[in-house]
């Protein structure tokens, strides 16, 4: 920001007010104090936050209007607050009673009308749980959840938004923001996506998943008309992979978080699975290459805790619940090996997923196994559903050192969309895209 010195730590500034926040009241040692924050951009495009503290706040009420250019005479320039900086700038301006505020009557188009502190969605995790900064995001809205009450006085809504990195991120909007996207904005039948620009957001992390939320200094704009929005919509119109991602995301039967996890799963070949860390899921295209015998496909589980029940002297005992002669239910466990051209991996499909893949409840499999030739018939079912077929496997990365003898649990199995795979490979080899 161009600062013209006019005294000790005092400067004259000409800049446009791009954001004028509500006066924030807070309690300090029993008295109510006020803080008023604004954001100014100068002709060089630099953005500086400007603060007025009580008791000076009331001297300036009604004097500032967003979009106008102001000459501020005699502002103090100090180091920016450590908490909730609105822009990444070491300095901030402070207006006191001796500052003279003059609104320019003529607009100067050389001074930008907006400031963007954007972060690419695949980089947000770097800023998770920072308390010293807020960030801006722009993306396509893929999903809007119903409004949900939280506690006595709050309402929230979850959005799923995607940017040019094809990363989908959850964005929780609170209270006054929940109506910013109403039903008219989102027609999930079509591939239309509203474009959202949101600023002053907090980056949070929960169980390794990064998400965004609104806070006191947040603003949200839907389908704002500017270069940024135009560039995003032009990209979306022309990028087939982006359209594919959106269609896949909107058609998954899973929960919002699962759909986001699956969509963001890191694509790997089996040879590099062992080295994967710090991602939620790996996405592997591989075919089944070895089906184990079916002797252990069914195990008996405690009906209370669903843990495997062992038999002591013929009495089924749940060690977890500490109950003998416990009622058991049959559960499915399918262990197979998958391979791609780079390597192989032993995997396990737990009960729910196994039932889904085999299209058959565990109780039926148990019944078949009890019949003559039952093992052969169960193997036939396994071969018909899985045998030498290619799937898209969504697998959490190894937690500890990779062990080739360990069987890694699969979280989701999807049909391969070869068109999407080709589009992704093309982009990958063009170097345009890193996932
Ligand atoms: Zn139990």
Q: How far is the CA of 129 from the centre of ligand 1 (A)?
A: 38
Report CA(326)–ligand 1 centroid distance (Å).
8
Q: How far away, in angstroms, is 316 Cα from ligand 1 center?
A: 11
Task: Tell how far the Cα of 332 is from the centroid of ligand 1, in angstroms.
Answer: 17
* Domains located in the chain, CATH noted: 4-103 (2.40.50.140), 121-260 (2.40.50.140), 265-297+333-430 (2.40.50.140)
What pLDDT shows up at residue 84?
64
Q: What is the Å distance from ligand 1's center to 400 Cα?
A: 27
Q: Which one-letter DSSP state was computed for residue 12?
A: E
The answer to whether 216 touches 135, Cβ cutoff 8 Å, is: no
Q: What is the pLDDT of residue 188?
A: 55
Cis peptide before 241 (omega within 30 of 0): no
Q: Is 29 left (phi over 0), alpha (psi -120 to 50) or beta?
A: left
* Cα distance from N-terminal residue to C-terminal residue, the chain: 36
How far is ligand 1, taken at its centre, from the CA of residue 48, in Å?
60
Dist CA 334 CA 286 (whole Å) = 16
Distance from Cα 313 to the centre of ligand 1, integer Å:
18
pLDDT of residue 190: 64
Q: How far is the CA of 346 from the centre of ligand 1 (A)?
A: 28
CA of 331 to the centre of ligand 1 (A): 13
Rounded CA separation 279/208 (Å): 8
pLDDT given at position 90 = 86
Q: What is the DSSP pairing of strand 91-94 with strand 135-144?
A: unpaired
Using the mean position of ligand 1's atoms as its centre, give its distance from the Cα of residue 366 in Å: 20
CA of 305 to the centre of ligand 1 (A): 4
* Residue 308 CA to ligand 1 centre (angstroms): 8
Which has the closest alpha carbon to 49: 99, 110, 112, 91?
91
Question: Rounded to the nearest whole angstrom, what is the distance from the C-alpha of residue 300 to the centroid of ligand 1?
Answer: 11
Helices assigned H by DSSP within 216-292: 227-238, 240-251, 256-264, 270-273
Going from the Cα of 329 to the center of ligand 1, the distance in angstroms, rounded, reads 11
User: How much distance in Å is there from the Cα of 321 to the middle of ligand 1?
Assistant: 4
**What confidence score (pLDDT) does residue 183 get?**
60
Residue that has been written with the tokens 């104090």 in this structure:
33
Q: Positive or negative, the Cα torsion across 42, 45, 46, 52?
A: positive
DSSP secondary structure of 164-199: TT--EEEEEEEGGGTTSS-GGG--TTSS---EEEEE
CA distances, 130 to each of 56, 125, 210 (Å): 30, 10, 12
For residue 281, how many other CB atoms are within 10 A of its CB?
21
Distance between Cα 295 and ligand 1 center (Å)? 23
| Distance (Å) from CA 368 to ligand 1 centroid | 26
Say if residues 172 and 209 touch (Cβ distance below 8 Å).
no
CA neighbor of 62 nearest in space, from 36, 88, 84? 36
Tens place of pLDDT per residue across the chain (435 aa): 777 887 778 899 999 999 999 999 988 889 999 999 999 999 999 999 999 998 999 999 999 999 999 999 999 998 887 776 788 888 899 999 999 999 999 999 999 998 888 999 999 999 999 888 899 999 999 999 999 999 999 999 999 999 999 999 999 999 999 999 876 666 555 678 899 999 999 999 998 899 999 998 899 999 988 889 999 999 999 999 999 999 999 988 899 999 999 999 999 999 999 999 888 999 999 999 988 788 889 999 999 999 999 888 888 899 888 888 889 999 999 999 999 999 999 999 999 999 999 999 999 999 999 999 999 999 999 999 998 899 999 999 999 899 999 999 999 999 999 999 999 888 888 876 554
Q: 317 C-alpha vs ligand 1 centroid, how far in Å?
A: 8
Distance in Å, CA 206 to ligand 1 centroid: 29
Tell how far the Cα of 254 is from the centroid of ligand 1, in angstroms. 28
């Amino acid at each position: 920001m161009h600062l013209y010195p006019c005294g000790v730590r005092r400067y004259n500034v000409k800049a446009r007010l791009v954001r004028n926040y509500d006066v924030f009241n807070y309690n300090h040692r029993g008295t109510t104090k006020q803080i008023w924050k604004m954001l100014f951009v100068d002709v060089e495009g630099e953005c500086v936050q400007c603060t007025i503290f009580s008791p000076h706040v009331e001297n300036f009420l009604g004097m500032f209007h967003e979009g106008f250019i102001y000459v501020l005479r005699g502002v103090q320039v100090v180091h920016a607050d450590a908490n909730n900086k609105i822009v990444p700038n070491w300095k901030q301006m402070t207006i006191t009673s001796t500052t003279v505020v003059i609104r320019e009557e003529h607009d100067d188009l050389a001074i930008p009308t907006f400031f963007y502190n954007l972060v690419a969605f695949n980089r947000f995790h770097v800023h998770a749980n920072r308390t010293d900064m807020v960030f801006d995001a722009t993306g396509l809205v893929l999903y809007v959840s119903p409004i949900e009450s939280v506690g006595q006085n709050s309402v929230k809504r979850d959005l799923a938004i995607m940017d040019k990195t094809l990363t989908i991120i959850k964005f929780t909007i609170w209270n006054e923001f929940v109506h910013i996207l109403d039903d008219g904005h989102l027609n999930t039948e079509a591939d239309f996506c509203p474009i959202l620009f949101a600023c002053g957001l907090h980056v949070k992390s929960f169980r390794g998943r990064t998400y965004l939320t609104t806070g006191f200094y947040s603003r949200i704009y839907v389908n704002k008309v500017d270069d940024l929005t135009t560039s995003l919509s032009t990209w979306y119109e022309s990028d087939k992979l982006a359209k594919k991602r959106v269609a896949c995301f909107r058609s998954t039967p899973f929960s919002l978080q699962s759909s986001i996890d699956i969509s963001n799963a890191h694509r790997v070949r089996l040879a590099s699975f062992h080295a994967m860390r710090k991602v939620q899921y790996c996405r592997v295209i591989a075919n089944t290459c070895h089906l184990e015998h079916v002797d252990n496909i069914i195990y008996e589980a405690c009906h209370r805790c669903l843990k495997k029940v062992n038999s002591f002297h013929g009495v089924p005992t749940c060690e977890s619940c500490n109950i003998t002669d416990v009622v058991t239910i049959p559960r499915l466990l399918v262990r197979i090996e998958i391979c791609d051209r780079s390597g192989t991996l032993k995997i396990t499909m737990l009960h729910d997923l196994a039932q889904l893949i085999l299209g058959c409840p565990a109780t039926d499999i148990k019944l078949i196994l009890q019949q003559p030739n039952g093992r052969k018939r169960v193997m036939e079912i396994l071969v018909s559903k899985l045998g030498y077929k290619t799937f898209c496997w969504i697998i959490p990365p190894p937690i500890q050192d990779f062990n080739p003898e360990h069987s890694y649990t699969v979280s989701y199995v999807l049909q391969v969309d070869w068109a999407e795979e080709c589009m992704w490979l093309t982009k990958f080899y063009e170097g345009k895209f890193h996932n």
